[in-house]
Amino acid sequence: MQDLLLGIDICDDYSQISYFNPQTLEAETLGITEEEASCMVPTVICKEKGTDSWFIGADAYRCALYGKGTMVDKLVKLAGKKGTATIEGVRYTADELLAIFVKQVLAIPGERLGIKNISAVVFTFQKKDSGLMDTVIRATDELGIPRERVHMANHAESYLFYVISQKKELWINQSCLFDLSENGLHYYELNVIRGRKPQIVEVGHEELEEGFSLEILETGAGRKLGDTILTSCGERLLQRKIVTSVFLTGKGFEETEWASGFLRLICNKRRVFAGPGLFAKGAAYMAYDSIQEQTSYPYVCLCEGRLASTVSMQVRHQGRDRQLVLAQAGSDWYEAKASASFILDNTNVLELLVTPVRPGRQNRLSIQLDEFPARPNKTTRVEVIVAFLSESRISVRVIDRGFGEFFPGTGQVVRQDFQI
């Protein structure tokens, strides 16, 4: 087998691991051990008393149950709140605990498959959070995994890539996903927008108010109530839609016998698939695609976490006016970074063009450079650096680089953030 191509889904209740199998050309889930085949690893960590040993998942539960250590759960939520936990008199930040968890999760595929080197890994979360993703990046840096091999996704992106990796007959019209876990009930809907080149594939996401605690499924009355709630959601969300396939994932759908009414509804003239690990599998497909010279997905993919507009600049190069693209619609905002250098020609204003994929008005973002030193025309070179704070917020830095020895650069920076 080639080097590892991994997809890792990290959630507050469970995390899951998947890898791309080059023999089958499919993503496959991976249990924490051969004895514990479940791919659902509880997102908990436990430090053994009096030692430097840490355990995760079911091992952490056992360590705490036998009174041998102190366990911490809800690691994602704790990291989001910048919380801390005190273990044996030592105060650990949530980032430190999450980093230990990530390192141990990354060790599992190598131990199970006998392969140590990682070609690419995609971490997926319910939603992209800069602080959470930065923590994961620091953990992978400490493990010596090159930055260009580490990527981030949210569940909408992972679902999108999972579905478009299946036979096209399953998503040629519409496809949808119900994700039921302790994090709530989430609904995703994939639509193919025809008549555009390249073709647009779009995923919408909604956290449903009807979400319920999985504890109610422990009683007969609770299971009946859960089935009624899901059936009502299905009737509302699927009416008058041509849905080709329905996917069910999450701890709540680990078994589906309790949702008989809901299943009758969604199985009517539709293909239905249920099982854990869907988001991790989608991330593994993304990992495989990230190492290819040419993508296997010639689409503009639009969803949470992806840019809905192309950002460009009008420039003149070798005597011709050109459009320089700084960020392409459909790109991952967290990785959409660009820089370019220009010589100003009779202007002290830079303009960026924001062109939406969907029909709409093209916007212009203007950056005044009056703070830079006054120089003769064509003797000021500037470096423009573009990065994104979210899929709808761009940060632009312009640096004065001067013009050689005659007009030394000051290094002065003008920064502006824009809503796009």
The structural domains of the chain, with segments of one domain joined by +, span 4-153, 158-280, 309-419
Overall average pLDDT of the 179-196 stretch: 91
Half-sphere exposure of residue 124: CA atoms within 13 angstroms, side-chain side: 30
Shortest CA distance to 38 belongs to which of 19, 57, 13?
A: 57
Residue 30 binned pLDDT confidence (cut-offs 50, 70, 90): confident
The tokens of 221 are what?
């009355």
HEC profile for 75-132? HHHHHHCCCEEEECCEEEEHHHHHHHHHHHHHHHHHHHHCCCCEEEEEEEECCCCHHH
Give the confidence band of 35 by pLDDT, cuts at 50, 70, 90: low
- With bands split at pLDDT 50, 70 and 90, how would you rate the model's confidence at 37? low
Structure-token match 């580490």, residue found: 150
pLDDT digits (tens, 9 = 90+) for 109-124: 998 898 989 999 999 9
Is residue 398 over pLDDT 90? yes
- CB-based burial label for 123 (10 Å; 0-12, 13-18, 19+): buried
71-106 in b/e form (b: 16+ CB < 10 A) is bbbbbbebbeeebebebeeeebebbbbbbbbbebbb
What does residue 382 show for φ and ψ, rounded to 5 degrees? Answer: -125, 150
Tally the C-alpha atoms within 13 A of residue 245's C-alpha that lie toward its C-beta.
19
pLDDT at residue 360, as a whole number: 79
Instruction: Please give the average per-residue pLDDT across 53-63, as a whole number.
Output: 94
Pick the CATH number of 158-280 from 3.40.50.720, 3.40.50.300, 3.30.420.40, 3.30.360.10: 3.30.420.40
pLDDT in tens, 268-324: 999 999 988 999 999 999 999 999 988 989 899 999 999 999 999 999 888 889 999
Backbone angles phi, psi at 152, to 5 degrees: -125, 150
Torsion angles phi and psi, residue 167, rounded to 5: -60, 140
The answer, yes or no, to whether residue 256 has pLDDT greater than 70, is yes
* Candidates 2.60.34.10, 1.20.120.80, 3.40.50.880, 3.40.50.300; CATH matching 309-419: 2.60.34.10
pLDDT of residue 36: 57
Q: Which residues contact 229 (CB under 8 A, 6 or more apart)?
A: 210, 212
Tell how strand 150-154 and strand 118-125 pair up: parallel
391 token code pair: 């899929």
Q: What is the CATH number of domain 4-153?
A: 3.30.420.40
User: Comparing 4-153 with 158-280, is the CATH topology the same?
Assistant: yes
The rounded distance, in Å, linking the Cα atoms of 408 and 336 is: 30
328: pLDDT strictly greater than 90? yes
Say what the pTM is: 0.90
